[in-house]
């Protein structure tokens, strides 16, 4: 006996939020962007032309894509069609890759994305969704079961965590230079 499966029957759309797991990364991205004051988006307001996508929605989909190591505008556009979390964050909107890339290169977005990247990591640590030691770009050794000679020095961890915000900012700048900007430039040639 099989479960009922019929592709010819009309199905009403479900709220995508109920399909996400309780601690999905989309909720953390949503909470972060919703905590940004409305004044931060005043520079995006336009009186003429076609109404644009809300900058909050655009930031949510971009940051969520970055958490999945997706930096290409085309791949972000594809995620909007395939990923439940991206569909929920975009609330059914499907901006094109050109719109996504135009938004990312907007003068005010660069600084806003950098601040969001740093704040996002700090909030994840505060909410204990990730350990404070989870992100190191300095080569710190972390104890593993496979090798009894690898270990973490407590003073080392404390010293590195004090400058974590600065390193997170530097890490974002490197990510911007090595991954994001080349993808935008490659796609703008199309």
- The tens digit of pLDDT for each residue in 126-177 reads 777 666 655 444 444 444 445 444 444 455 545 555 566 677 777 778 888 8
- Chain centroid offset of residue 177 CA: 17
> Cα-flanking dihedrals φ and ψ of residue 45, to 5°?
-70, 135
pLDDT at 133: 56
pLDDT at 61: 93
- pTM for the full predicted model: 0.69
Rounded Cα–Cα distance for residues 108 and 104 (Å):
9
User: Do the Cβ atoms of 97 and 77 come closer than 8 Å?
Assistant: yes
Binning pLDDT at 50, 70 and 90, where does residue 96 land? very high
pLDDT digits (tens, 9 = 90+) for 49-93: 788 888 889 999 998 998 888 889 999 999 999 988 898 899 888
pLDDT at 151: 45
Rounded Cα–Cα distance for residues 71 and 181 (Å):
9
């Amino acid at each position: 006996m099989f479960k009922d499966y019929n592709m010819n029957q009309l199905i009403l759309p479900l709220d995508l939020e109920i399909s996400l797991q309780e601690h999905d990364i989309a909720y953390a991205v949503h909470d972060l962007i919703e905590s940004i004051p409305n004044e931060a988006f005043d520079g995006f307001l336009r009186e003429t032309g076609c109404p644009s996508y809300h900058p909050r929605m655009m930031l949510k989909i971009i940051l969520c894509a970055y958490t999945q190591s997706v930096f290409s505008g085309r791949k972000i556009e594809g995620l909007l069609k395939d990923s439940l979390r991206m569909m929920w964050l975009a609330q059914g909107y499907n901006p094109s890759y050109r719109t996504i890339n135009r938004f990312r290169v907007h003068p005010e977005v660069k600084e806003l994305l950098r601040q969001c990247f740093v704040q996002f990591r700090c909030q994840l640590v505060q909410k204990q969704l990730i350990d404070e030691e989870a992100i190191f770009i300095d080569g710190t050794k972390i104890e593993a079961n496979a090798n009894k000679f690898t270990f973490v020095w407590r003073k080392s961890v404390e010293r590195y965590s004090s400058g974590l915000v600065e390193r997170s900012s530097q890490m974002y700048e490197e990510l911007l230079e090595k991954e994001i900007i080349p993808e935008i430039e490659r796609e703008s040639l199309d």
